[in-house]
Amino acid sequence: MEYVAIIPARYASTRFPGKPLALLGNKPVVIHVCEQALKVFDHVFVATDDERIAAVVMAAGFCAIMTQENHKSGTDRCCEAFKKCGIDAGVVINIQGDEPFIQPSQLITLCELFDDQSTDIATLVKPFPSDTPYEKLANPNCPKVVVDDNMHALYFSRSVIPYVRGIPEQGWASRHVYYKHIGLYAFKSHVLEKITTLPQSTIEKAESLEQLRWLSAGYKIKVGVTNVETIGIDSPDDLAAAELFLKQNSL
């Protein structure tokens, strides 16, 4: 099966404007992501609506595709770029443009989920350690995932689910395996085109998590597990943490 990796990257982030071009080490964040993706995929494209991002990407030797400004999600931007890229791939990998430490092992795990021919959408999770304090578990910026016995997603939430009845909250992580969602997706190409035409669901609006739209529409999301820790960059504080992580680890 042929794969194509698309990296949505927009300049106008609410919490961190221009973050794809923020320097991490000696290079922009989006270039780190491109380099990691190219370790696994032959076809890597950055999808952006900003000429500054496109110029930096192309100057570094990577491919950029200009997309519309009014996309409501990275998935919509990813779909437009896929239609324009000219690659007839069976699976489209959507890699967040603010995940400079995404690892080849994670991308390979994601691809392996398509060994099951019934997989239409795939994503990754990472188990929370059993000693995770409740305050960290309850962070709404860190969505949690509940899965079924076949590792299909049942629900994504910013809340702590499931509720562990009869146990103090600080002991929940030791009594149940909670999964942190890693914002990395893969879609069969025809499924990607279909889900971008779906209307928003009520639970998506409530949680502000677009994957709930796909579950509401009846799509199954296959889930793979990774134990690799990464740092997504949503704010200047995250960038500072990423600088420290980069000094302590080699990509």
The topology under which CATH files domain 1-102+231-251 is: Spore Coat Polysaccharide Biosynthesis Protein SpsA; Chain A (3.90.550)
Provide the b/e sequence for 56-85 (b: ≥16 CB within 10 Å): bbeeeebbbbbbeeebeebbbbbbbbbeeb
> Which one has a higher pLDDT value, 250 or 108?
108
pLDDT at residue 250 greater than cutoff 70: no
Residue 224's pLDDT band (cuts 50, 70, 90): very high
pLDDT at residue 126 greater than cutoff 70: yes
Q: Tell me the C-alpha distance between 37 and 52, whole Å.
A: 21
Which pLDDT does position 129 carry in this prediction? 97
Which pLDDT does position 246 carry in this prediction? 87
Mean pLDDT for the chain? 94
Q: Of 15-19, 50-54, 72-76, give the lowest mean pLDDT range.
A: 15-19
**pTM of the predicted protein model:** 0.92
The CATH architecture to which 103-229 belongs is Alpha-Beta Complex (3.90)
**What CA–CA distances, in Å, run from 44 to 33, 88, 115, 175?**
10, 13, 21, 41
